[in-house]
Amino acid sequence: MTVVVLALVAGAVVGLSLGALGGGGSVLAVPALIYLLGFSPQQATTAGLLIVVATSATALAAHARAGAVRWRLGVLFAAAGVLPAAAAGLFTHRVPAAVLTGMFAAVAAVAAVLVLRRPTRPVGAARPARAAGVGAGLGALTGFLGVGGGFLAVPALVGVLAVPMSAAVGTSLLVITANAAVAFAARIGTVAAVDWALVGPFAATALLGAWDGKRLAAKVDAVALQRVFAVVLLAVAAFMMLDALL
């Protein structure tokens, strides 16, 4: 199987998970770029940002047409994260590859746990300060590891800002798109050359796979999909952690 075919297949799998679960695709994209396509961790997390921008912006447009985006709240939430995203993006190339891989493994494990948890109810009076803190943390995570962070953004919007689930996914996509775009712009000149000829097909099939993922979600039990995704993430996290340690 050629490298281009691997890029097409991996992108389709990432897109399917994004479309079926409304997020999480970038957590699979970075390991695929590293272990299937031979990218370094720094190159993979940079390319992952471009994939996040493309897929999230496309999904955002669909949610916007359905009126499921809280624009003002999303802009405020994103504003707390864009500077941390840019700063983290500039810093990543200084981190050893093994450390970056280990940190990504830890985030993948956390994502696996969170994807199975229901968002909690709003926490009360300190919501604005908590929202700013979560927004800044999400921006730093996006800039540093090249992940969208929807597995954190959606629970934060529901539990901290009392956004209904019907609008939380769309609003999180606005936040993710903004953070990833800023982080990508900050990073682009700081890492070794990325093979965009492979990233292009990967991103294209991810976009196509996202539409099939939406149809899959309508036919398969959502809880079962979440459990499968969580198991896959835990396996990826374990593999990456071993790779970082050995």
pLDDT at site 120: 55
- Cβ–Cβ contacts within 10 Å for residue 153, how many? 29
Write b or e for each residue in 182-219: b if 16 or more Cβ atoms lie within 10 A of its Cβ, otherwise e: bbbebbeeebeebeeebbebbbbbbbbbbeebbebbee
pLDDT in single tens digits along all 246 residues of the chain: 688 898 999 888 888 777 666 566 678 889 999 999 999 988 898 898 888 888 888 888 888 888 989 998 889 888 999 999 999 888 887 889 899 999 989 988 888 887 777 555 555 545 667 777 888 988 998 888 888 777 778 777 887 778 887 788 888 889 888 988 998 988 887 777 888 889 999 999 988 887 777 677 667 776 777 788 888 889 989 999 999 888
Q: What is the pLDDT of residue 201?
A: 92
CA torsion 104→110→111→116, rounded to 10°?
160
Site of tokens 């050995």:
246
Sorted by sequence, the CB contacts under 8 Å of residue 12 that are 6+ apart come out as 205, 206, 208, 209, 212
Amino acid found at 118: R
Q: Are 39 and 188 in contact (CB under 8 A)?
A: no
Q: What is the largest CA-CA distance in the chain?
A: 56
Tokens 């998970």 belong to 17
pLDDT at 102: 92
